[in-house]
Structure 1
Amino acid sequence: MGTALSRTAVELAEILDEKRAKNPVGNALLDATGRGAVDEEALRRLVGTEAQAHRAELASYGTALARFPDRPAADLFIQLAQLVAEAEPKLHACARALGMDDPRSPRRPAEHATYAFNGTLSWLAVTGSQAAFALASYTDMRVYFAGCKEFVQRVRQAGVDLPPEFIEYYDDEGSDDLRRLALDVVQDGLDHGDDASDAVFCARLLEESIGDFWRSAAGTA
């Protein structure tokens, strides 16, 4: 797929779907449910990994907004930041329900995989094109919400008792409107000359870092 090829945002999303089908990144947390290896500590690891990501997300969306302040990009980055900011108190309620005073102190889990997503997202916010960052954000929403929702469903089917706060936080499909907006921002970037192949590369890179996120939560990193 060379840069001379003309691609739409929807086509790039389809290319990522094909990559996902042919070479899945995998979700170690879902694999753990199949082995019956999910306990309360696994839930705490997920919350802890999530908490470490929030600050990086807020800073990254702010950086992207500063670099791409025009609409529709500005609308996307503001809404993504708002989504994370509104999730913060819910995540802290989830942590308290699991006996965690502060999911960020001490740093937990304390391994490289916990911070892989943060590093990739931050790097993309600083160096990525509008199309690349927006397609990565779209991929994040596609993969993360589906993975969390399936995890909750599997754990509940296995008879594991989940706090209501955990279910409220993680049993969420995300927003179709926000995903569509992300593709609109990708298309706007492509229309202004952004490199389609680079956008796919960056989005896949972020998806691979979400694989590290799952590994951190599962304790298999």
Structure 2
Amino acid sequence: MNDDIAGLVARAQREIAKQATGNRFLDLLEAGAVPAERLGWLAGELYRLVGSDQRSQALLASRFPAPPAGELFLALAQGEAEALRLLLDFATAVGMGEAELEAYEPLPLAQAYPAYLTQVAVFGSSSSMALALLANVDESGGTYARVAAALRSRYGLTEEAVGHFLFFAETPPELLDHAAAVAAAGIAGGESPDEAVRTARIVSALETAFWDTLAEGLTSAG
């Protein structure tokens, strides 16, 4: 990662830190205080989110087909497809088959995150999506790792059942290097660094909104 992109990532992370509010759903999950019904909600919301994100990354690949961007966004779309496949194991473990996932009515605010990614895919720059990945990967990956651990320790789920969360817990270093190259190429080509930082900040805020929506109305007693 070159110094300019490293500086943008650091700038975005400072902006993200200013708006950090914690993750109440995760705190409740680690306490075993999320009822079984909400785990079904989690499966249903992720089913919509990941399916949308897969299409958003594919759209970005069609808008920016030249390397390095096209290759990155195709890889991200393929990753979302694999994550969607793994999600079915979690859904089955919490009593949600494919018919139930299709019939599930999503919570509007939980779907603000994928809706914004679609907006970026349609109107945004290649560097914006790349920087959002780089600036948020540690926080997001840590969240998914903790979700997987809590589901296993508190709810007795198998490693296979939490494979979706483990998949997002770690991002291959070569993918991050590729994202840095896309961000650098986009900025060098005239894309706005301010827009890229803004996108990273909003992505983080809407990830928080996703988890907050799932926690709404819950207490420590479940």
Q: Same fold (TM over 0.5)?
A: yes
Secondary structure of 1:8 counterpart: helix
The AA in structure 1 aligned to 2:125 is S
Aligned to 1:77: 73
**Are 1:43 and 1:217, in contact at CA under 8 Å, matched by a contact in 2?**
no
- 1:153 pairs with one of 145, 149, 154: 149
TM-score for the superposition, normalised by structure 1: 0.85
Letter matched to residue 42 of structure 1: R
Which of 202, 205, 215 pairs up with 1:205? Answer: 202
1:55 aligns with 2:51: yes
Q: CA deviation at 1:82?
A: 0.7
Partner residue of 2:159 out of 153, 164, 173: 164
Are the structure 2 counterparts of residues 126 and 140 from structure 1 closer, same or farther at C-alpha, using a change threshold of 3 Å?
Answer: farther
Give the C-alpha shift of residue 122 in structure 1: 0.3
Partner of 1:111 in structure 2?
Answer: 107
Q: Percent identity between the aligned chains? A: 27
Distance 1:64 1:23, change over 3 A: same
Which residue of structure 2 lines up, in the alignment, with residue 15 of structure 1?
11
CA distance in 2, matches of 1:68, 1:164: 36
**Across the two proteins, how many residue pairs are aligned to each other?**
213
**1:96 maps to 2:97:** no
**What is the RMSD computed on CA atoms of the aligned residues?**
2.3
1:179 is matched with which residue? 176
Whether the aligned pair in 1 keeps the contact of 2:152 and 2:158 (CA below 8 Å) is: no
Q: Unaligned regions of 5+ residues in structure 2, if any?
A: none
Structure 1 pair 34/98, CA: closer, same or farther in 2 (3 Å)? closer
Compare the two structures and name the one with the higher helix fraction: 2
Q: Which residue of structure 2 lines up, in the alignment, with residue 3 of structure 1?
A: none
Shift of 1:119: 0.9
- Does the 8 A contact of 1:29 with 1:151 survive in 2? no
**CA shift at 1:19, angstroms?**
2.4
> Can you give the 5+ residue segments of structure 1 that lack an aligned partner in the other structure?
1-6
- TM-score, with length taken from structure 2: 0.85
Within 2, Cα distance between the matches of 1:191 and 1:25? 34
